[in-house]
């Protein structure tokens, strides 16, 4: 059977329970052989607070207890410049070969602006895409760019099909609705609040030890 690798990219500034739940949920649903977490230097966001090394350290802490194999993929950080998802997927595909199933995981908020991703239509040549619902972000075509909605609709398939094929399919899961954002967590920490229910305890300890996200 083909290897299945779930890919979870993001700024992770900081990583929170929503990220962990998203990765764990789809890794189990897909019966993935590996969850690969990819901290980014994103071109669509403002300057990050934590350093690349601090974000990697927090990711290692946050995902250490998952039952599946978890790898922190540093390639975007090591490039040292903002990068496009398509470049990362091409590099991963080169490393895995043509037969592995690559499944990129994302939230519905990312789906709403998917048509702003560089060369977005070509992404399906490299990977599948799994989308999780999120409160406030609808999954129907009224809230998604029409071209994106059409592309996702015609490629819809089940988890077993995604596992069995290398790329090109989509899956939308409305059962995992988590209203957590790193922006909100940073704001709470700046106010002196501890968002215990939103962030893994080991990550919160790290944030306090390194005096991150304070005014």
CATH number for the domain harbouring residue 30 = 3.40.50.620
| pLDDT score of 27 | 96
Within a domain: residue 159? yes
Residue 136 lies in a domain: yes
Residue 214, in any domain of the structure: no
Between β-strands 101-107 and 4-10, what pairing exists: parallel, antiparallel or unpaired?
Answer: parallel
pLDDT at position 185 is 62
Q: Give a yes or no: residue 21 inside a domain.
A: yes
Tokens read off for 113: 């602006």
CA dihedral for 113, 49, 36, 179, sign (positive or negative): negative
Q: How many domains does the chain have?
A: 1
Residue 191 has a pLDDT of 67
For the entire predicted model, the pTM comes to 0.90
- Domain hosting 118: range is 4-209
**Residue 24 has what pLDDT?**
93
pLDDT digits (tens, 9 = 90+) for 104-124: 999 888 888 999 999 999 999
Which segments in the chain show pLDDT lower than 50?
Answer: none
Give me the pLDDT at residue 43, please.
Answer: 64
Write the CB contacts of 93 (distance below 8 Å, at least 6 apart in sequence). 100, 102, 126, 127
Residues 2, 7: Cα–Cα separation, whole Å: 16
Asked whether residue 54 is domain-assigned, the answer is yes
Q: Indicate whether 215 belongs to any domain.
A: no
Q: Is residue 196 part of a domain?
A: yes
Classify the C-alpha dihedral 112-114-116-121 as positive or negative. negative
CA angle 42, 44, 47 (to 5 degrees): 65
């Amino acid at each position: 059977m083909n290897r299945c690798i779930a890919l979870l990219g993001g700024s992770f500034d900081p990583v929170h329970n929503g990220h962990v739940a998203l990765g764990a949920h789809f890794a189990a649903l897909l019966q993935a052989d590996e969850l690969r977490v990819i901290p980014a230097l994103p071109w669509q966001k403002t300057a990050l607070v934590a350093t690349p090394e601090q974000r990697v350290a927090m990711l290692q802490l946050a995902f250490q207890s998952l039952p599946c194999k978890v790898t922190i993929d540093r390639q975007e950080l090591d490039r040292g410049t903002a990068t496009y998802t398509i470049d990362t997927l091409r590099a991963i595909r080169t490393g895995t070969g043509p037969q592995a199933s690559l499944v990129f995981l994302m939230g519905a908020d990312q789906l709403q602006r998917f048509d702003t991703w560089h060369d977005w239509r070509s992404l399906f040549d490299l990977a599948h895409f799994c989308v999780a619902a999120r409160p406030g972000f609808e999954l129907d075509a009224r809230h998604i760019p029409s071209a994106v909605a059409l592309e996702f609709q015609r490629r819809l398939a089940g988890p077993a099909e995604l596992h069995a094929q290398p790329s090109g399919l989509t899956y939308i899961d409305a059962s995992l609705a988590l209203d957590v954002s790193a922006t909100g967590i940073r704001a709470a920490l700046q106010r002196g609040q501890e968002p215990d229910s939103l962030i893994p305890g080991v990550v919160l300890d790290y944030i306090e030890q390194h005096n991150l996200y304070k005014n």
